[in-house]
Structure 1
Amino acid sequence: MASKAVKTMAKAVTEYQYPWQEKLVKYKDELTNGVWGYWELGAWKPLGISARRRARLRKEVLMAGQDWPYDPERKEMRTKRKGHKCDRISAEKRAQTAELMKKMPQMLLDYKKRRWEKKMKAEDDANK
């Protein structure tokens, strides 16, 4: 007798569906205003439905195979990783040094040319 009552109770519990459609209609305006609340006339208004009940409603809607359009947009994932500033600066310095080393032969030729021109000018001044 007791097992029959347990079976009927279990059947009743499994057949019971959370009335999400009525709740969704009731709180539709609230849910479109935001996840946590919204500003109205310069004052913060929390939602009329608690976060726990909102989460339960969302779960029921998704389990029923319906779409839940009230979630906020997700931000992009950070691609730049955090680190120590000294490591970042030293990497930038190494890159700058590599660029300068590529230009080094031309810089040396320019330096030698300037030095030669300065020497020639000094000789011309001395001869006058």
Structure 2
Amino acid sequence: MAGKSVESVAKAVRVYQYPLREKLAKYKDELSKGVWGYWELGAWKPLAISARRRARLRKETLLAGEDWPYDPARKEMKTKRKGHKHDRIAAQKRANTVELMQKMPQMLADYRRRKWEKKMNEEDAKASKK
């Protein structure tokens, strides 16, 4: 008998020590609107619950072992490295130069052929005019 009464008192203390259910039910609409506030009809409206009270309610909820669905989704971390851009792309430029230098004899031959063809076409055009 005494064990049951102690257990019921402990349960009552635990329930009323952290009245999360009542607080969450009370501020459910307000918490779902965002962390800082929301736009309504073109005007910014701050939340009716202060950030301090919201943070305390969040902490109590998480300490009680329940989930907190009202946090916004986290953004992806930036992957941009610090430093100078020319230091980062120098190796790519060197690799590209090596590749282009291997193609250089063919590129020169193509250039010479195009130049020769242009010259021949111009000479043919002059000869046909005369």
* Normalised-by-shorter TM-score class: 0.5 to 0.7
In structure 2, do the counterparts of structure 1 residues 39 and 114 end up closer, same or farther at CA, with 3 Å as the change threshold? closer
For residues 21 and 95 of structure 2, the distance between their equivalents in structure 1, rounded to whole angstroms, comes to: 60
Query: Structure 1, residues 25-79: CA drift from partner, whole Å, max 9, x if none?
Result: 1110011110000011111111111111111111111111111110001111111
Question: Which residue does 2:69 correspond to in 1?
Answer: 69
Query: Structure 1, residues 89-111: CA drift from partner, whole Å, max 9, x if none?
Result: 65554344233223224224445
SS at match of 2:44: strand
Aligned pairs, number: 108
Q: Which amino acid aligns with 1:64?
A: A
Q: 5+ residue gaps in structure 2?
A: 1-12, 121-130
For residues 78 and 98 of structure 1, the distance between their equivalents in structure 2, rounded to whole angstroms, comes to: 32
In structure 2, do the counterparts of structure 1 residues 22 and 102 end up closer, same or farther at CA, with 3 Å as the change threshold? farther
Runs of 4+ in 1 over 6 A off after TM superposition: none
SS at match of 2:17: coil
Question: Which residue does 1:103 correspond to in 2?
Answer: 103
For residues 79 and 102 of structure 1, the distance between their equivalents in structure 2, rounded to whole angstroms, comes to: 34
Q: TM-score, normalised by structure 2?
A: 0.64
Q: Does 1:36 align with 2:42?
A: no
Q: Which amino acid aligns with 2:48?
A: G
Q: Which amino acid aligns with 2:38?
A: Y
Q: 5+ residue gaps in structure 1?
A: 1-13, 122-128
In structure 2, do the counterparts of structure 1 residues 75 and 53 end up closer, same or farther at CA, with 3 Å as the change threshold? same
Q: TM-score, normalised by structure 1?
A: 0.64
C-alpha root-mean-square deviation of aligned residues, in Å?
A: 3.2
For residues 98 and 20 of structure 2, the distance between their equivalents in structure 1, rounded to whole angstroms, comes to: 64
Question: Which residue does 1:45 correspond to in 2?
Answer: 45
